Structure 1
Amino acid sequence: MNRTDWDAYFASLIGDTGTGVPGLAVLAYADGREVYRFAAGVRRVDGERSWPMTVDSRFRMASVSKMFTVFTLMELAEAGKLSLDDDVSQYLGFRLRHPSYPDVPITLRMLASHTSGLRDGRVYSIPPSVRVKAFFTPGSPYWEDGAHFAPAGQAPGIYFTYCNLNYGLLGTVIEAVTGQRFDRYQKAHILAALDCRADYVPGNLEAAEFAKLGTVYLKRDSQGRWDEQGPWQGTIDDFGGVQPEREALALQNPYAQDVCQTYDLAAYRPGTNATIFSPQGGLRLSLEELGHVLAMMIQGGRYQDRPVLAPSSLQAMFSPQWVYDGHNGDTCGQTLLTYGLGEFFVDGTGPARCCRTKAVDLWGHTGQAFGLLSGLFVRLGTGSGFAYVMNGEALAEDDDLRSAGRFSCNYIWEENVMDGLCRLIDGL
C-alpha cells in the first residue's frame, strides 16, 4: 500500500456513529526513522464549530502516562536516590502492609509491575489536602471497606492485578525522594529532556499549548444513557476553549466520574498525596511528543543525541516482572499476560495480538479512560514502533457487541488502528 492508501485506511476509521471516532492521529517508525504520520477528524467540537485533529493536538493520554512515571523512577534509581526493591513504607511515612501478609514488604518494583496486592476501589484520586494513608485507614472516607487491598490468597509480589493506585503511590514516593511536586520534577527532568511541553495541570500549560488541548468524548449523557446518533458529550478537558486557573486541578476518577471536583494546589505538600496529579494517566501529551519517546526508545535511551535514560533502565522496563501462569493474576480479558515496569508485552501469536496477518511482538502500553484510546509500542531490536490516539467512542465498551475485536481480545477501535500500523511498519 502507498501513502494514499494508508491515508484512506485511517480516514475510514473516523466518524460520528458506530465504531467511528471523532479524531485520530497515528505515527510510525521503521528501521530507526519516522516513515508515516496521519491526523484527521476533530480534537474539539462546540456546537457547529470544530477544531481539527493534528499531530500536535494535546490530550489526557491515560495510561500511556505510566511509562513517564517509570522513566522518572528509573532516573532516580540511576542517580542512586532509591532502589526498586526498597520498601515503599520508608518513603510514604507510614507502614504499608497488606493485612493478610503483614511480613511482606510492598516494594517500588511491586507497585510499578502491579504485583503490590493493592487495588483501586472506586476512587483513586483524592483531594490534595488528604494523605494517601487515607486509602488504607479504616474509618477514612477513602477506606471503601478495605477495597484497596486484594483478597487473601492474592499475595504481594506474586499476584498481578492492574491497579492505578500503584502509580499514585509511586508519584508520592518520587515527591518524597526529590522534595518537589511530582508534576514539576518530571517536567524539569524527563519531559524537558524529551522536548515535551506536556503538563499534568491544564491551567499550567503555556497558552499556545493549551490552545492545542483536545477534549475526550463519549456518546453518553450525564444520566449514563448512550445515544449513538446523539451529539458528542465531553468527558474530560471540556473547557470550551477557556483555560482553567493556574495551580488548580480536578480529581480524575474514571470509575467515579461524579468524584472529579477541582482543588487549588497552592497549599499542597509534596510527598503526601500525588494522586491529585494522576501519575497513572493524567499527562496531557501530543502524538508528536509520543514520537519523541519512540525515538528515545529506539535509540537506546538517547533523544537528539542527549541521554535521557541508561540502556539498562529501558532494558529493565522491557523485562518481564510478572508472567501469567494460568492462576497468578487478572489478565484483563487476556490483554495482559506479561508485565514489565510501566510496559507490557504483546505476543504476536497471543490473544491480544495486534496484527491480523503476521506475528508482530511488541512492548509498550495502551491508554483507555473517559473515552480516549491511546498507545505507544516498539518492536525491540528492529528500530520500529508506533503511537496513536483516538479521542472518543460512540459505543459502550463491552456492553455493545460492536466494540469487540474481530481477531483479538482488544477493542475494535484498538484492533483497527494497531493492525494497520503493524502492517505499515512491516511493509505489508
Structure 2
Amino acid sequence: MTPPLRRLPALPLALVLFALTTAGSLASAPPPTDPLLPQLLTRGRVPAAALLALEGAGTRYAEAGPGIARSDHFRAGSITKTFIATVVLQLASEDRLSLSDPVERYLPGLVRGAGNDGRALTLRSLLTHTSGLYDYVRDTEAAVPVTAVQAVRIALTHPPADRGRFAYSNTNYVLLGLVVEQVTGRSYAAEAERRIIGPLDLDGTSFPGSRTSLPSPHGRAYDTDGTDVTELDPRTAGAAGELVTTLTDLDRFYAALLGGDLLTPRWLREMLDTRTAHGSYGMGLFPATLPCGVTVWGHNGRISGSYVRTAATVDGRHVLTFRVNTTALADPDLEPALLAAEFCPRTP
C-alpha cells in the first residue's frame, strides 16, 4: 500500500514571473500569450508553466509559477515522434528504405498474431498512424518499463482496428525505432543524435535510454495527483516518447525542420501530407487550424510529469513551445487559446 497522495493547490497569481528578451521584433509589449500562462495555474491547477517563442532573430520567454526556468531539461513525450519520423524520411531520401515497403521486410515474423500481419502493413502506415495496431500504452498505462519487442508483443495480443483509418498508437513508432536499427545497424537514438541533435547543436537534447534522472538543470515534475515523478524510467515510452530536451532546443529543431534544413523539399512535402490520415496527421507532425484561419504544424508530448506542445508556421520562421511540469492540462481549451494568441494576426 502507498500513502495517500496529496494534491498540489493552485498557485496564486502573485507568484507569476515574466522574463522578456530584447532581441529583434519581439522586444515590444508582451503578446496575448503571456497573460494566458497564469490561467494554466488558476484554471488548470498546474504547478508551473513556461513558454518560449522564436520569430525571426528574436525570442521571447515567459514563465508562471515557481520551480521552472528557461534552461530546464524536461521530458518531451511524443514529441519524440517528430525526431523518429525525420530520421526515417532521411533514410528514405537515401534509398535505404521505402515508405511503401511492408514492415515484414525489416522485421520478419515480428508483427503476427490476433489478426495482425506485418506483411500487410507499410512503413507509411506506421508513420501516419493508419496501421490499425493496438496502442500498447493502453495496457501498460505508461507506467511499466518494457523493451521495444515486449511493447510490440503486448500490442499484438489485441486485434487491429480498421487498417487505413487514423488511430494514434505508440506501437507504430516503437516499430519504426526497430526499423531504423535494422536498416542502419545503430539504435534510433544514435541515428537521431548523428543526424539531428549533433548537426543542430541541440546541446540539451538526449535519448536517456534507461537513465531515470534528468540532466541538470531541471525542476521537479508532478503527476496530476501531485505525486513527484521527476525520477522516471523512460523505457515506458522508448522510441514513441523517451526524449529529454529544452525549450530552446525544441524551437530550434522545429524551425530547422520546417525551414528545410533536415529534409529536401520533396521529403518535407511528404512529411506534411495528411491525405493518408484523412487530414489528421502527416508523419510525426500534425496540423492545427486556428480560428483566424492560420494553420500551424507541430506535435504535443505527454508523459508522467510533463506536458509539452510545439507549434510552428509552415516555413518554420515562427515557433512556439510551451510546457507545464505536470502530466496534463486540466483545461484543454487553454492550448488552442495559447496558439491563437501567438499565431493569429493582432489588431492594433
Assess same fold via TM > 0.5.
Answer: yes
2:202 matched to which residue of 1?
196
Q: Given that residues 202 and 284 in structure 1 are in contact (C-alpha distance below 8 angstroms), is that contact kept between their aligned partners in structure 2? A: no
Q: Aligned partners of 2:60 and 2:115: how far apart in 1?
A: 50
What TM-score comes out, normalization by structure 2 length?
Answer: 0.78
Corresponding position of 2:231: 238
Q: Identity, % of aligned pairs? A: 24
Among 23, 48, 56, the alignment partner of 1:23 is 48
Residues 97, 105 of structure 1: 8 Å contact kept: no
Q: 1:102 to 1:390 in 2, by over 3 A?
A: closer
Give 3-state SS (helix, strand or coil) of 2:169's partner.
coil
Partner of 1:363: 297
Whether the 8 Å contact between 1:196 and 1:289 is mirrored in structure 2 is yes
CA-CA distance at 1:70 after TM superposition = 0.6
Is 1:27–1:34's contact at 8 Å kept on the other side of the alignment? Answer: no
Once residues 126 and 5 of structure 1 are traced to their aligned partners in structure 2, the CA distance between those partners, rounded to angstroms, is: 41
Partner Cα distance (2:40, 2:115) in 1: 49
The yes-or-no answer on 1:93 pairing with 2:104 is: no
More helix by share: 2
Indicate the residue corresponding to 1:389 in structure 2.
323
- C-alpha contact 1:24 1:53 (8 A) present in aligned 2: no
| Contact residue 306 and residue 324 of structure 2 kept, 8 A | yes
The amino acid of 1:421's aligned partner reads E
User: CA separation in 1, counterparts of 2:342 and 2:168?
Assistant: 26
Q: For residues 79-107 of structure 1, what are the alpha-carbon distances to aligned partners after superposition, in whole Å with 9 as ceiling and x for unaligned?
A: 22111111111212325357547596211
Q: Give the conservation status (yes or no) of the 8 Å contact 2:296–2:314.
A: yes
Aligned: 1:316 with 2:270? yes
Assess if the C-alpha contact under 8 Å between 1:96 and 1:106 holds in 2: no
* Secondary structure, aligned partner of 2:61: strand
How big is each residue's C-alpha offset from its partner over 1:258-314, in whole Å with a ceiling of 9 and x where there is no partner? xxxxxxxxxxxxxxxxxxxx11111001110012113213432x2xxxxx3222222
Could you list the per-position Cα deviations for residues 163-196 of structure 1 after superposition, in whole angstroms to 9, with x for gaps in the alignment? 0011001001111111112212211222111211
- Which of 266, 283, 292 is the equivalent residue of 2:252? 292
Which AA in structure 1 matches 2:265? Answer: P
Kindly report which structure 2 residues correspond to 1:82-121, keeping only aligned pairs within 5 A, or say none.
Answer: 82-94=97-109, 96-97=111-112, 100=115, 105-121=120-136
In structure 2, C-alpha distance between the alignment counterparts of 1:204 and 1:143, rounded to whole Å? 25
Gap runs ≥5 in structure 1: 43-49, 137-141, 221-231, 240-248, 254-277, 303-307, 325-336, 349-354, 398-402, 405-410
Q: CA deviation at 1:10?
A: 4.4
Name the CA shift for 1:92/1:368 in 2 (closer, same or farther; >3 Å): same
* Residue equivalent to 1:400: none
Whose strand proportion is higher, 1 or 2? 1
Q: Against the structure 1 CA distance between its residues 3 and 189, is the aligned structure 2 distance closer, same or farther, given a 3 Å change threshold?
A: same
- The answer as to whether partners of 1:365 and 1:375 remain within 8 angstroms in 2 is yes
Alignment of 1:343-422 (within 5 A): 343-348=285-290, 355=291, 358-381=292-315, 383-392=317-326, 403-404=330-331, 411-422=332-343
Instruction: Supply the RMSD in Å over aligned alpha carbons.
Output: 3.2
Letter in 2 for 1:217: Y
Counterpart position of 2:4: none
Q: Does the 8 A contact of 2:251 with 2:319 survive in 1?
A: no
| Paired positions, count | 316
**Residue equivalent to 1:80:** 95
Provide the rounded CA distance (Å) in 2 between the counterparts of 1:427 and 1:320.
29
- Provide closer, same or farther for how the CA distance between residues 53 and 314 of structure 1 changes in structure 2, counting only shifts above 3 A: same
CA distance in 1, matches of 2:97, 2:91: 6
TM-score by length of 1: 0.65
Give unpaired runs (5+ residues) of structure 2: 1-25
State the alpha-carbon separation in 2 of the partners of residues 189 and 89 from structure 1.
25
Q: Could you tell me how far 1:63 is from its partner in structure 2?
A: 1.2
Give the residue type in structure 2 aligned to 1:176: Q
